[in-house]
Amino acid sequence: MHSPGEDLHEDYIEKIKRLKAQRNAVILVHNYQLPEVQDIADIMGDSLDLSRAAIEADCSVVVFCGVQFMAEIASILNPGKIVLLPVEEAGCRAADMITVERLKAMKAQFPDAAVVCYVNSSAAIKAESDICCTSRNAIEVVRSLKDYERVIFIPDGNLARWVQSRVPDKEMIPWEGFCPTHVMVSKEEILCSKQQHQGAEFIAHPECELDILALADCVGGTGEMLDYVRNSPCRKFIVGTEMGLTHRLKKENPDKSFYSPSKSFVCPDMKLTTLEKVAHALETMTYRIEVPENIRQRAKVSLDRMLR
Ligand code: SF4
């Protein structure tokens, strides 16, 4: 027998299926979303994988279960489709740590530097940047800037320092933003977790601090972590990123075990999207994410350069 909570889930799932067909919609779900939201995904992945998948998808409506900057990317790359974010206020605290005015001031201070912008940023910030990057390709993107010796890297300072450690011939000028979720974990927690789960491999996201990354067997974005675990002969993993990824890791690798080293690995904004909110988004066609055309075109240039 199902619990009342499970019955309610089933009701929402039925409603979502019906509305999805009516609206000709696809549901894109980020790897950090709640497990029950992950389970209704047409496509899962990181922010960029999802937006690129939306380009390929034969649909009129994209429901993006994630945060604002992700829905903005989907809208930038898919101008002919309606992009809905089920929770209007689901933002990214790291992305909010920089403003266009402050970036312009930094550019004026270092006029010879290229501006590399992590995709975890607003469309307006992307529009002011030379090129975007993801956690997966940040090193490659910075290496590709043959004409520049200095790089302003925004907005995540930890990712900037990780790239600097791998690309020593460039001078990185980091913006001191950070992801509040990924900086909460301490070195002691990782060491304690390694002690508890002897023989486990530690996979870490480069939004963590450098002393944490120094302890990792694999450093990468969520896509790289999934690839690493799939291909590793190891059967136990300590997961150094937002807890949501563990649901997908377990589903894809039922014979392996996963441990979170810290209770702090939760992004509150990523957990705002529920089945009820997804059903509401499809029913009311809210909240529509549209990027003003002058910003969209300039932000797309930065994204296209990265994709090239
Ligand atoms: Fe932003 Fe961090 Fe949440 Fe990702 S986990 S959406 S970087 S606040």
Atom of ligand 1 nearest to the CA of 182: 2
State the pTM of this model. Answer: 0.96
Choosing from 67, 134, 159 the residue with most ligand 1 atoms within 8 A of its CB, the one to mutate for a pocket test is: 67
Q: CB under 8 Å to 292, separation ≥6 — which residues?
A: none
| CATH number assigned to the domain with residue range 95-179, chosen from the 4 options 3.40.50.720, 3.40.50.10800, 3.30.565.10, 3.40.250.10 | 3.40.50.10800
Choosing from 120, 209, 225 the residue with most ligand 1 atoms within 8 A of its CB, the one to mutate for a pocket test is: 120
Choosing from 46, 181, 260 the residue with most ligand 1 atoms within 8 A of its CB, the one to mutate for a pocket test is: 181
Please tell me whether residue 60 adopts helix, strand or coil conformation.
coil
Kindly report the protein residue whose alpha carbon is nearest to atom 2 of ligand 1: 179
| pLDDT (0 to 100) of residue 231 | 98
| pLDDT (0 to 100) of residue 178 | 98
| pLDDT (0 to 100) of residue 1 | 60
The continuous run of DSSP H or E covering 55 comes out as: helix 47-56
Q: Which two tokens stand for residue 135?
A: 């956690």
| pLDDT (0 to 100) of residue 103 | 98
Mean pLDDT by 10 residues, the chain (308 residues): 78 97 97 98 91 89 97 94 98 98 98 98 98 95 97 98 98 98 96 98 98 98 96 98 98 98 96 98 98 98 93
Domain boundaries, the chain: 4-90+270-292, 95-179, 185-259
Other C-beta atoms closer than 10 Å to the C-beta of 220 total 18
| pLDDT (0 to 100) of residue 3 | 76
| pLDDT (0 to 100) of residue 5 | 76
The maximal CA–CA distance of the chain, rounded, in angstroms, is 66
Distance 182 CA to ligand 1 centre (A): 8
CATH of domain 185-259: 3.40.50.10800
Helical pair 68-77 and 47-56, crossing angle rounded to 10 deg: 30
Paired with 206 in beta bridges are none
Ligand 1 neighbours, Cβ below 6 Å, are 67, 92-94, 120, 179-181, 242, 267, 269-270
Nearest to 209 by CA among 163, 159, 143: 159
143: left (phi over 0), alpha (psi -120 to 50) or beta: alpha
Kindly report the protein residue whose alpha carbon is nearest to atom 3 of ligand 1: 267
Phi, psi values for residue 301, rounded to 5°: -60, -45
Decide if 39 contacts 31 (C-beta within 8 A).
no
| pLDDT (0 to 100) of residue 8 | 85
Residue with tokens 């590793």: 232
| pLDDT (0 to 100) of residue 179 | 98
The continuous run of DSSP H or E covering 72 comes out as: helix 68-77
CATH of domain 4-90+270-292: 3.40.50.10800
Please tell me whether residue 71 adopts helix, strand or coil conformation.
helix
Instruction: Examine domains 4-90+270-292 and 185-259 and report if their fold is the same.
Output: yes
